[in-house]
Structure 1
Amino acid sequence: MLKTLITAVLGLAALAANAQNGFTLNGKLSGNHEGQKVMLTYRADDKAVKDSAIVKNGGFLLKGKVADAVKAQLTLKELGEDKSPMTMEKMLAQDAQEFFLENKDITVTGSTIRTALIKGGAAQADYLLLNSQLKPLQDKMKPLSAKMQQYSKEKNDKAKDELFPQLRAIRVEMNKVEDAFIQQHQDSYVTLDLLNGRSGVIDVEKIGPAYNALSPRMKASSQGKKLGERLKVATKTDIGKPALNFVQNNTEGKPVSLASLKGKYVLLDFWASWCGPCRAENPNVVKAYKKFKDKNFEIIAVSLDDKKEAWIKAIETDGLPWIHVSDLQGWKNAVAGMYDVKAVPQNFLIGPDGVILAKNLRGEELDKRLSELIKN
């Protein structure tokens, strides 16, 4: 009897412990949202996770478990699915809010999701603090952003160009606020999220010291480990380091190696047919290629396409007469992985000795740098 009682008590204790290991998200909305759907979305192990609940008597409840605190989003939707394409206007009009989800009791209270107060967990407390510090600058930016959207609809490029300096100045001030937060909160998932947000293209000199200053707990988290691994790769492909050799097939299915171009100045260019900024940059690259192609200069372009037809068509349409390679694996392209390419366009200028001389030269910068290097 005693043994059975002890077993039961231990079982209840285990259940209680397991319950504490998960999150409970309890919402209470004062507006008229009866029957609407609340969507919870976040990413775990690079996969999208979705859950939902229906608002009943003004409330909703969601439960689950996350490995680490993670940025998530709550969105309130009508029960009927809207199958029309997502537009910028629709995205901005969504009744949604981002927050940090961790295995705690979390409360959501307000008249809408957008304006609700979301509380629960240390990460969300940090996020609320950062948002309170950024709010005065965000309030300055909102009317300017609204004007920018208006001018875009009107195709008033002159007015848009005049707004950019004001928006950039506010963004600089926001960066300063975030920088101070990063320095003061080195054991925060919010700091780790800020660093990840700045790491689409890793600047080793900026990201490296900030990552090294993180607490052991942050470095040991899932996102911390991934950023650490990316930083190692970025360090290997930084300016002054030997370019990593690779072999991929060209448009005819024949293998081409980077090493075969040693002795020349080489632009290693990452792009894709579906990448608007890449296609917009191509005329500048064509101009530089025509100017220097007979002066010991070559381009090898690695495409992040997954459809050969689209890749070939873009090469022909944009008139790109240099070397093209791809494994047609999209974002899983092996060379992109070697060079930690998480955003395109990106490029690396490599010297005749195979050492990386510069990164991400845009517009006239490529022509200017090649003019400095190639004198005759």
Structure 2
Amino acid sequence: MCTTPLSAQADPGGSDAPAATAKHAGLYTIHGENLPFKEGTAELLIVSPTGDLSRRNLSSVKEPVKDGAFTLTGTIDQPLFANMAFEWTNEKGEHQSTATTMIIEPATYRTEFHPENIFTVRGGDYNEKRFGYAHSPANVDISVKLAEAERKSAIGVDPTDEAAVKKAQKPLEALEPERVRNENAMIAYEHGILTGNADPLLKLFTLMGTIDPPYYSNSSVAKRRMVDDLETQLGPNPLIARVRAMMTRSQARVKAAGHFEVGSLYENMTLRDADGKEHTLSDVLASNQFVLLDFWASGCGACRAEFPFLRKLYKDFHPHGFEIYAVSVDEDAADWTQALAQDKSHGEIPWLNLLSKSFDSPAAKAYGLRGVPANFLLSRDGKIVGKDLHEWDLERKVRTEIENAERSRGG
């Protein structure tokens, strides 16, 4: 455990930070050994400094994991954000994956695996300083504890049994104070970079992914001023342009999302299912009492964890005029169809499943979608009667709305 107070730690972006004007181009190497699996793949996904954040602007370097070891090498023109990801099949034949964010620069890196498939990538000046607290024993310790408690809470428990799940999650709830303390320490660390005498490029990397509320808020005047200051110090930089684009995009999403509160009217859409058949939301509403407009993605664990609840919800209420209009925002249709095939192995998915490619698709932009899972419960008249309801809260809301509707009709 890291017991040194954040205020007593060295400036995370102190005088030994790389000069902002230096040329950071060259060879990188990422090496790992003694991984918790013998065979699999190691992949580095590097985010392009220009363009949007979609998959088409990611470059990939992939190598096989053999005998629990791998080595990735390549060249980089400037430090950039990247994702380090692993995939493998466990002894039960189950697909496993894990990933983490890093900054790739000309340096030598090593991976450090911890229990529950949590790992860090160590090395590189910007990477070490930007993720200094994320790499700390304190953060790794609570991350492992939370992952272990989450995993154990699901063993032998019916996810749709509210009482059983709440009982199984008591150890997880007991960790909440420790989780909050750790999050506050992370915020303090990142705030120290943003407000201290740190290298401007390090500040830029921190600003792009910080959880520090004063600077992460998309309406923050302080954030815009900081971007202006960084541009003055760094000069023309595609990452500056990306930050500005992200801020503009987020503000547009916030504005759009403001039109879809409870009591507002829905926005219509027409999307295709896996067979290419079109389904218009207004038509689905016209033939049902209530429709759940559910946005999700194949790579969203929380989204797919809701499938057992949706199955139960559909089984209980579809005979009473309830339908689900599920919209995947996967960029790759293959990811979407693969996820559906995997989840169908655990039970039927009889509701409507449709694709609206990426968060930049018309449907996602219309609703101001900023993340998944996200949902809207719609009544036949097109009004939003519930928003971002999940698990048992969603079940109770649907039940109440249907009972009230049937009672008003004398049903």
TM-score normalised over the length of structure 1? 0.57
- DSSP 3-state at the match of 1:248: strand
What does 1:215-230 align with in structure 2 at a 5 Å threshold? 215-216=226-227, 217=230, 220-222=240-242, 225-226=245-246, 228-230=248-250
| 1:279 and 2:279 correspond | no
- DSSP 3-state at the match of 1:258: helix
Distance verdict in 2 for CA 1:210–1:189, change over 3 Å: farther
Give 1:190's match in structure 2, choosing from 206, 209, 229.
206
Distance verdict in 2 for CA 1:185–1:265, change over 3 Å: farther
Deviation of 1:236 after TM superposition, in Å, equals 0.5
Give 1:25's match in structure 2, choosing from 25, 28, 41.
28
Aligned to 1:69: 80
Whole-angstrom CA distance in 2 between matches of 1:164 and 1:190: 29
Judge conservation of contact 1:268–1:348 (CA < 8 Å) in 2. yes
Judge conservation of contact 1:327–1:334 (CA < 8 Å) in 2. no
Deviation of 1:232 after TM superposition, in Å, equals 1.9
| 1:50 and 2:61 correspond | yes
Distance verdict in 2 for CA 1:150–1:165, change over 3 Å: closer
Deviation of 1:348 after TM superposition, in Å, equals 1.3
Aligned to 2:125: 120
Aligned to 2:182: 174
Identity of aligned residues (%): 12
Deviation of 1:268 after TM superposition, in Å, equals 1.6
What does 1:178-327 align with in structure 2 at a 5 Å threshold? 178-186=186-194, 187-195=203-211, 207-209=217-219, 213=223, 215-216=226-227, 217=230, 220-222=240-242, 225-226=245-246, 228-238=248-258, 239-240=260-261, 242-249=265-272, 253-258=277-282, 261=285, 266-270=291-295, 276-282=304-310, 283-288=312-317, 293=321, 299=323, 301-304=325-328, 307=337, 317-320=348-351, 324=352, 326-327=354-355
Which of the two has higher C-alpha Rg? 1
Deviation of 1:327 after TM superposition, in Å, equals 4.9
Judge conservation of contact 2:292–2:377 (CA < 8 Å) in 1. yes
Deviation of 1:190 after TM superposition, in Å, equals 3.1
Deviation of 1:129 after TM superposition, in Å, equals 4.6
- DSSP 3-state at the match of 1:229: helix
Whole-angstrom CA distance in 2 between matches of 1:30 and 1:265: 53
Aligned to 2:38: none
Aligned residues: 315
- DSSP 3-state at the match of 1:189: helix
Whole-angstrom CA distance in 2 between matches of 1:223 and 1:62: 28
- Unmatched segments (≥5 aa) in structure 1: 1-17, 32-37, 54-59, 76-81, 199-205
Aligned to 1:11: none
Judge conservation of contact 1:349–1:358 (CA < 8 Å) in 2. yes
- Unmatched segments (≥5 aa) in structure 2: 1-20, 35-40, 49-54, 65-70, 159-163, 195-202, 232-238
Question: Deviation string for 1:82-103 (max 9, x for gaps)?
Answer: 98569899768xxx9863224x
Deviation of 1:125 after TM superposition, in Å, equals 1.5
| 1:163 and 2:171 correspond | yes
